[in-house]
Amino acid sequence: MSESAGAYIRTRRTSQGLTAAAVVKSVEAITGKKWHQTTLTRIETGQQGISLAQAVVLSHVLGFSLDEMVDSLGLDPSAAIRTARLREIETAIASLQDEAKRLEAQR
């Protein structure tokens, strides 16, 4: 899935006229962690797999849901897998929201 997911991410980024550097800067602002532009490039070209956490952050930055990405790739996960994935996503989103609140409070 990583190569196709990466191509989807690149398409979303370029269709919005965003550079890889701009996306990386947004990811760093959200996560508070250092990201390298080469990480994004490797994900987009399929040279590196994408973790769920990375997919969640990139979907937030680029404005798509993971379901949209999965659907665009023509994947049809079973209901059990989809339910488990949605739980992980909800947990990750809640964590990102908490982190965003913490960062806002520090300003």
List pLDDT tens digits, range 79-96: 557 767 787 888 888 888
Burial class (CB in 10 A: 0-12, 13-18, 19+), 50: buried
Is the Cβ–Cβ distance between 57 and 31 less than 8 Å?
yes
Q: What is the C-alpha separation between 50 and 39, in angstroms, rounded?
A: 10
Nearest CA to 61 out of 34, 28, 85, 37 is that of: 28
Between 1 and 56, residue with greater pLDDT:
56
What is the average pLDDT score of the chain? 86
pLDDT band per the 50, 70, 90 thresholds, residue 8: very high
CB atoms within 10 A of CB 102: 10
All residues at 6 or more sequence positions from 91 whose CB lies less than 8 Å from its CB, including other chains: none
- pLDDT of the residue at 38: 96
77 phi and psi angles, rounded to 5 deg: -65, 150
